[in-house]
Chain A
Amino acid sequence: MKVRMIASLLGLAGAVMAPFAAHAWEPAKPVEFVIMAGKGGGADKAVRFIQSIIAKENLGPTVLPVNKPGGSGAEALLYLKGKEGDNHTLMFTLNSFYTTPLRQPGLEVDIETFTPIMRMAEDTFCLWVNTGRKDGEDINTFDDFVAAAKAAGDKWIMAGTGKASEDNLITDFLNTTFGLDMKYVPYKGGGAVAKALAGNNADSTVNNPSEAQGFFVAGTVRPLACMTPERIGLFADAPTMKELGHDFVYFMQRTVVGAPGMSEEAATYYQDLFTDVFNSGDWQEYRKKRALVGDPLTGDDLMEYWKREREIHRGMLDKLAGK
């Protein structure tokens, strides 16, 4: 009897250990998860959400989020670069992952040295206007927008997040493509941008859907067009730029990166871990609610994706600087 009990206890212990034992390497201490942005922003929220999924589903180690927002992500990039060979440091990135090293070559950060773990999602962008504008004008379609913005000239205010940010690059595209002269006013973070539009302190924004969603549901703001390949289910009335005759698609990556020179076993471990996170019901629900797209990408595929995106951003930045 006793023997059987011990045996079953051992079996139980084995069952508990099993998911971990499958790996050649597992973390020996809590894993530091660097966020390239400040507290409360989209990236920060995503990391804290991932942290809670890992804890809730008991998927892996304790994760410690650390915000390093300095210098448009420069601080975070340098920090990760300094962690060469470290198996316990990860980073959650945005598109400043490409633009900051391009704009500040002095950092000597080469993103090809970093360890690709997994792309968790791509965030999308839409063009938004207020439904109750101060001048009483009702802007319902993208054509209305172009006409109104053209008439207003440089009095038309586009609010966005920081200069040379994703929002700025899209604004620049709209200005050059449609012959507009919108003035770009930077705010600290997408939430503040959404609020500026809702309070009529700006005429338009190119917020991520998640940032404008609350005001959209309340009927304060309206999407006119989305920079996506297909219409977004939540805003089925808003056409894509492609439908409007302009092949413009723009995403923001939400990707997990490892320190340079991370061991292969560790990289595999984290790829498996984030695959589990990706497949969890909570993350799938989150993607749906936030209108996130993008398949999971790992390893070499992810590296190829980075190189491609970096070239796209190099071109966009050159155009922005050339103006």
Chain B
Amino acid sequence: MVEILALLADGFGIALQPLNLILIVLGCSVGLFIGAMPGLGSVNGVAILLPLTFVVPPASAIIFLAALYYGAMYGGAISSIMLGIPGASTAVATTFDGRPLALQGLADKALITAATASFVGGTISVILFTLAAPPLAHVALVFGPPETLALMLLAFATFVGLGGEDIWKTIFSICIGLVLAAVGTDIVSGEPRLQLFGLTGFFSSINFLVLAIGIYGIGEMLWTIEQTAKAGGVSMLSRATVSVRRALAHLRGQLALWKATLMGSLLGYFVGILPAAGATPGSMMAYGVAKQMSGNPDSFGKGNPEGVSAPEAANNAASTGSMLPMLTLGIPGSPTTAILLGGMVIWGLEPGPQLFVDEKAFVWGLIASLYAANLFALLLNLTFIPAFIAVLRLPFTILAPVIFVLCLVGGYAPTNRMFDVWLILVFGFVGYLLRKLDYPLAPAVLAIVLGPMTEPALRQSLLMSGGDFAIFFTRPYSGPIMVIAIVLLALPLIRHLVRRYKTG
């Protein structure tokens, strides 16, 4: 313990050097902007700026990129809340309740909630990182396909209750998502599959951001246009206001959300450290669990601040968590850390088990910089809230075309494929129709995120066991997770049956 504190103190010595402080400020600011731009997420930001980092020492380079990664996590929430378009894949769950809050004229509340929850999530996870990196690295290492499957099942279980009352519509929505997730290459056989209509674009899997931007960006806008027209042309967004007095009241209100925030932080961190999971499923799961834990689950999706704080705490916690397997195992925990890993090679470092031993200054400088980056990102975010709110005061007739363009650019940017732009339009229109028919769409988005991780885990596990399902229950980590997942899955069904029995 004393040793860890000494190392951390050395780390702060590095992180607080003037050059590194400037890089933290710069990284957070650039990240905030990149995260807030729909479609441009931390992956793009880090990939674009990576070649610039060879002019500074490795510790400074990783501090800059980590700050950028961090800032993007904060920034992603902004367009999710303000425009209803997820700014990054990690912020999709934030739209579920952040957007309704904005529509109710409480955009300032949603933004403050997102910023503080991000700060809490980030800080808790850095503390966990500081204290318990090596033992947690061991958990991440032995976590194999059966454990991954159990965890994914748990994620689905937390989401069964996410749809509306109609359980069949929820299942339908999940199935649509799973079918879309199956498009692309079969990783086990290596063959292309479900290449719909023989189009070349379906050679690769559907980027889930394309679905999310379609449904929540275009679909949402069509919906808003319809509602605005119904209301006699009055924009639904124009009630946004902000003042210091309100802001202080919202900040005090954060204390009431402590349960959801704390849960999101811990869950996000643990999902984040598992290789290949990352911040997106982490934030989704946190949202599902927050809803299950809440005394008033029906208010979720209609503007419950817990629905903002849980996923926002989780995505920041997960982004820190995903650096753990990157540094200790040389395995990326998220797409962004995959690029950071490449960067470490360029800087002449060898990520892996020896890094904590051989490169103490690099590792602890990075960890210390995360504390600083967190604090700075919070301040930056709170300062700019009035500016963000001002955007919402624009007349809807101006805002709508801007959102439309941002959606298309955001869909094109990650992959540079025109095909994805057409897909966004299709998903947007279909999403709008499904919404009119009262189908819940969040389960479909969840399915397309988790499907590509669940399927290989299931098939690898069964290959390992020779087709024996016992493998999921006999292993020390997967057994307990599996049992919890099954109980959670069965719960709504039992509740449903009991209610039916009682009413008659």
Residues of A bordering B, CB below 8 Å: 39-40, 44-45, 48-49, 51-52, 55-56, 65-66, 68-72, 74-75, 78, 103-104, 154-155, 157, 162-165, 183, 185-188, 191-192, 194-196, 198-201, 213-215, 217-218, 220, 285-286
A196-B144, A201-B144 given; A55·B51 CB < 8 A: yes
C-alpha gap A181/B185 in the complex (Å): 26
Contacting residues, chain A, for B343 (C-beta < 8 A): 48
- Contact between B352 and A75, CB atoms less than 8 A apart: no
Contacting residues, chain B, for A192 (C-beta < 8 A): 275-276, 331
A70-B205, A75-B203 given; A48·B275 CB < 8 A: no
Check if B332 is an interface residue, CB within 8 A of chain A.
Answer: yes
Further 10 A-B residue pairs, CB within 8 A, beyond A39-B339, A75-B200, A218-B353? A48-B342, A52-B54, A70-B203, A75-B203, A157-B463, A163-B191, A185-B460, A201-B145, A214-B351, A214-B353
A157 and chain B: residue at smallest CB distance: B464
A80 to chain B, nearest CB (A): 13
B350 and chain A: residue at smallest CB distance: A214
- Contact between B342 and A49, CB atoms less than 8 A apart: yes
Check if B345 is an interface residue, CB within 8 A of chain A.
Answer: yes
A155 and chain B: residue at smallest CB distance: B466
C-alpha gap A157/B338 in the complex (Å): 26
Check if B416 is an interface residue, CB within 8 A of chain A.
Answer: yes
- Contact between B342 and A154, CB atoms less than 8 A apart: no
Q: Which of B189-210 contact A (CB under 8 A)?
A: 189-192, 200, 203-205
A43 to chain B, nearest CB (A): 11
A69-B204, A198-B329 given; A188·B456 CB < 8 A: yes
B139 and chain A: residue at smallest CB distance: A199
A75-B200, A163-B190 given; A199·B352 CB < 8 A: no
Q: Top 10 closest A-B pairs, CB basis?
A: A214-B352, A40-B338, A70-B204, A218-B353, A201-B144, A70-B203, A71-B203, A199-B141, A45-B342, A163-B190
A96 and chain B: residue at smallest CB distance: B190
With contacts defined as CB atoms under 8 Å apart, how many contacts are there between chain A and chain B in the complex? 136
- Contact between B463 and A183, CB atoms less than 8 A apart: yes
A-B contact pairs, 10 of them (CB 8 A): A40-B332, A71-B203, A71-B204, A72-B185, A75-B204, A157-B463, A157-B464, A165-B190, A183-B463, A214-B350
Check if B341 is an interface residue, CB within 8 A of chain A.
Answer: yes
A50 to chain B, nearest CB (A): 10
B347 to chain A, nearest CB (A): 9
Contacting residues, chain B, for A186 (C-beta < 8 A): 187-188, 190, 456, 460
B348 and chain A: residue at smallest CB distance: A285
- Contact between A199 and B466, CB atoms less than 8 A apart: no
Check if B47 is an interface residue, CB within 8 A of chain A.
Answer: yes
Contacting residues, chain A, for B469 (C-beta < 8 A): none
B46 and chain A: residue at smallest CB distance: A39
C-alpha gap A55/B54 in the complex (Å): 10
- Contact between A195 and B51, CB atoms less than 8 A apart: no
- Contact between A49 and B346, CB atoms less than 8 A apart: yes
- Contact between A213 and B350, CB atoms less than 8 A apart: yes
A69 and chain B: residue at smallest CB distance: B204
Contacting residues, chain A, for B145 (C-beta < 8 A): 201
Among B54, B143, B331, B463, contact of A191 (Cβ-Cβ < 8 Å):
B331
- Contact between B142 and A199, CB atoms less than 8 A apart: yes
- Contact between A214 and B185, CB atoms less than 8 A apart: no
B334 and chain A: residue at smallest CB distance: A40
- Contact between A185 and B342, CB atoms less than 8 A apart: no
